[in-house]
Chains A and B, each alone.
Chain A
Amino acid sequence: MDSKKWYVQGLRDGVPIFLGYLAVAFTVGIFARNAGLTSLQASLMSFLNNTSAGQFVAIGLIASSSGYLELAAVQLVVNLRYLLMSCSLSQKIQPKAPFFHRLLLGYNVTDEVFALLSAVDGYLNPAYTYGLSTMSIPGWTLGTFLGCTIGGILSERLLSAMGVALYGMFISVIVPPAKKDRRLLAAIAVSMAISAGFPLLPGLKNIPQGFKIIILAVLISALFAAIYPVPKGEGEEGESAA
């Protein structure tokens, strides 16, 4: 596939992200307006950040006039999972590809974009990432703007149902490869079981969600890497250059 086809493929795969973001960002917009932000401020925040949990927490902090440093520290914790995702993606860009692609991709490493990029075999064509961004960034910004301006129009029940679309996307990315690979199946089953049980353990309830994700992701991935190492050339981190 050439770059043009990859870009179009990115646009197409980005449609569910666009719709899902529209719905989730709508709730971000409502939340922002209730906290006293203008629709320009809320939209700008979404355009520059592309992060749901981070923005929800930030809006709460802004409403309470917290310090800039506190906001920075909280963002670091809540968004630390992106560091892990970017480490993984760093191996999916051809080492010889022009450097600016890395700077641009870094702007839009979100959970959903990461999920779709991980599903691509071999090295990524940067055009594909730009196709996804062309759908996801406007979806997120527009959804926030709409939520902030016409917030009350959708019922809460509908928003709650639409919000899970993004998790459906995660499932459709991680389940099919696990069908063919028992190691992945085991890793996913263990991850789901532990993440479901984690909040029940005493004393762990108060760890911020962003920390929980990264602690569990690092521990479980390291455990499986130690027990079931993936030989070079096997699995999807293959040598089939795009």
Chain B
Amino acid sequence: MQPNVYIYILVMASVTYLIRVLPLALIRREIKSPFIRSFLHYVPYVTLAVMTVPGVILDTGTCLSGVLGLGTAVYLAWKGKSLIQVAGWMCAVVYIAELILL
């Protein structure tokens, strides 16, 4: 039997939804354990940080353009610039760097 694209889509959507919804549906009380509370406090920052560096390097044309863009973003965020400014300047720096480097 030839595999059906719509069944593929349903299979992947079901798996992905279950991964996302189960913790929300099952963990409904406030967690008391200080260790787990601390752990979950760090999770957002650590998860986003470990995704950013490899992502920026892999998703850009050259490693250097990614690093320059990342440096710009960290500097502007540190200076308290808004989300749109940080993201916009990061894109601009990557674009200009790749125009020069590639």
Q: List the interface of chain A (C-beta within 8 A of B).
A: 13, 15-16, 20, 37, 41, 44-45, 48-51, 54-55, 58, 61-62, 65-68, 71-72, 75-76, 79-91, 93, 95, 99, 102-103, 105-107, 109, 111, 114-115, 118, 157-158, 160-179, 184, 187-188, 191-192, 194-196, 198-199, 209, 212-213, 216-217, 220-222, 224-226, 228-232, 235-237
Contact = CB atoms under 8 A, between A and B. Distances in A.
A224 B61 contact: no
21 contacts: A50-B16, A79-B19, A87-B27, A89-B24, A95-B30, A102-B25, A103-B21, A115-B44, A118-B44, A161-B92, A161-B98, A164-B91, A166-B87, A167-B90, A169-B86, A171-B73, A172-B77, A172-B81, A188-B49, A191-B49, A235-B41
Contacts of B29: 95
Interface in B1-52: 2-3, 5-17, 19-31, 34-52
A168 B93 CA distance: 11
A167 B73 contact: yes
Nearest to A45: B9
B68 to A, nearest CB: 11
Contacts of B47: 81, 84-85, 114, 213, 217, 221
A114 to B, nearest CB: 7
B91 A86 contact: no
Contact of A161 (B13, B14, B48, B95): B95
A212 to B, nearest CB: 8
Nearest to A47: B13
Nearest to A116: B83
Nearest to B81: A172
B12 A75 contact: yes
A72 B11 contact: yes
Contacts, number: 299
Chain A CB count within 10 A is highest, among B8, B12, B53, B88, for B12
B65 to A, nearest CB: 8
B38 A225 contact: yes
Given A41-B9, A229-B34, A192 B20 contact: no
Q: Which of B87, B90, B99 is the most central at the interface, judged by chain A CB atoms within 10 Å of its CB?
A: B87
Contacts of B82: 172
Nearest to B23: A86
Contacts of B26: 90
A179 B45 CA distance: 13
A24 to B, nearest CB: 9
Contact of B17 (A72, A81, A107, A235): A107
Given A45-B9, A168-B90, A196-B54, A173 B48 contact: yes
A172 B20 contact: no
A165 B74 contact: no
Nearest to B44: A118
A15 to B, nearest CB: 7
B8 A62 contact: yes
Contacts of B22: 83, 86, 106
Contacts of A90: 23-24, 26-28
Nearest to B7: A68
Nearest to B77: A175
